[in-house]
Amino acid sequence: MRIAVVGTGYVGLVTGTCLAEVGHSVTCVDLDERKIKLLLDAKSPIFEPGLEPLIAQNIEHDRLFFTTNLEEALNGADVAFIAVGTPEGEDGSADLSYVRAVAKSLGEKCSGNLLAIVKSTVPVGTCDIVDQIIQDTLKSRGAKHRVTVASNPEFLKEGAAVNDFLHPDRIVAGVTNEQDAETLRELYTVFVIDDPSKLFIVDRRSSELIKYGSNAMLATRISFMNELARLCEKVGADIDNVRRGMGSDPRIGRKFLWAGPGYGGSCFPKDVAALVKTGDHYGVSLEVLKSVTTANEAQKKHGARKILDHFGGKLQGKTVAVWGLAFKPGTDDVREAPAITIIEMLLDAGAHVIGHDPQGQDNFSREIGSKKNLSYVEDAYDAAKNADALVLVTEWPEYKRPNFEKIAGLMRTKNIFDLRNQWSFKNLKNHGFHYQCIGRPDASTKSNS
């Protein structure tokens, strides 16, 4: 099949590359000339494990092409994916301006029959809008092409995106007719050959809502566990024990029950907000989800407050090392990362902050902007030099088993705030650290782990 992918971000680039990998001829198009220039040199503009070699391999086999010219990408295409951003608008609803703009361009530039597939996360009813825009544009230029629209939300996880795309748990598509359903089967059967029932072909509105429902459910689990963790801190329970006990119930399951500094990223915060807005629009107040956001904002601040409280609310003259700036391990994406809120609170309290992240430093410094008392280091241990506190915000594998003896020797005062519950009370106590984490008793009150 000849495929155009509009938008070469985390989703579009992985989609295009993986579809090329299974033999399709794919042209990815983006307005961002910097990205396309890098891609034409077989360099990935984002950090995503395994992606860059796959891009290079498929360019080499003449299956993967990049351009800034949509007309060129659409030339002879059977299918065009819309994979542009749907950021949070000022009122919390999804900003559909990029999706609308692409819909109009597809109507203007397509040169034959086309299936437009909306991969961006969009509120229920958006495919109808995209359809209307395309039909209106075709009509106004007197074109007779048959252009139809399908929904096909993406469920990949940054940090594991290539594997998720090639070996999905499920693929969801929403269509209005059997011909489009057949095209989607042709595109995707190869990815679910082990179990074709993983491909769900439903109506467009259900498909759109499956994506929001899924992200909102995951965000809810996180906020729920974070609130339980805060309660554990008050009543002397251990959230790790609570998590294990709860997760053993198959109705609950073990995944997504980890307490931490709150969720971030380019999806959960905006998708929860957008679903709440959709509910409001239809007169259905989604009270649970409203609280999910409130709890998450509180959790991001809760981590920073632990540090502030320990130092009596003032951090003037204190140096705080922060390990982990990306919103999760395995990505350079820092959008809505908890580290932003935490570092801003530390800086406001007068601290000098030294940040480290294996991949996200450049994006983070761009996102947060230049700050007088914020600097970055290339080596994680350098962040700990003369620090009064070390804070773990993102649980990169690099931070799993650090040399605590070395860290103890580097720090001015030995305070560790482990906001991901990664380290052992006993180990840190043995090295003389004051240790605080999330929802577990402090090292000072716990004799073993």
Residues found near ligand NAD in the complex (CB under 6 A): 6-12, 29-32, 35, 83-86, 98, 101-102, 120-121, 154, 156, 158, 266-267
Supply the minimum distance, in Å, between the C-beta of residue 82 and ligand NAD.
9
* Six-digit token string for 232: 């554990």
Q: By Cβ distance, which residue is nearest to ligand NAD?
A: 9
Measured from the CB atom, is 336 or 357 closer to ligand NAD? 336
Look up 110 and say whether it is catalytic.
Answer: no
b/e per residue 265-283 (b: at least 16 CB within 10 A): bbbbbbbbbbbbbbeeeee
* Six-digit token string for 323: 């390990």
Amino acid identity for residue 84 in this structure: V
Other CB atoms within 10 A of residue 4 CB: 29
Supply the minimum distance, in Å, between the C-beta of residue 97 and ligand NAD.
9
SS3 of residue 74 by DSSP: helix
- Selecting among 28, 232, 267, 437, the annotated active-site residue is 267
Query: What φ, ψ does residue 251 adopt, rounded to 5°?
Result: -70, -25
**What is the side-by-side strand order in the sheet with 319-323?**
374-376, 352-356, 319-323, 389-392, 415-418, 434-437
Give yes or no for a contact between 318 and 350, defined as CB atoms under 8 angstroms apart: yes
Give yes or no for a contact between 293 and 326, defined as CB atoms under 8 angstroms apart: no
Measured from the CB atom, is 29 or 272 closer to ligand NAD? 29
Supply the minimum distance, in Å, between the C-beta of residue 46 and ligand NAD.
7
Using left for φ > 0, alpha for ψ between -120 and 50, and beta otherwise, residue 159 falls in left
- Radius of gyration over alpha carbons of the chain, in Å? 24
Measured from the CB atom, is 35 or 302 closer to ligand NAD? 35
Supply the minimum distance, in Å, between the C-beta of residue 295 and ligand NAD.
22
Other CB atoms within 10 A of residue 400 CB: 12
Query: What φ, ψ does residue 390 adopt, rounded to 5°?
Result: -120, 125
Measured from the CB atom, is 117 or 349 closer to ligand NAD? 117
The residues that are catalytic are 267
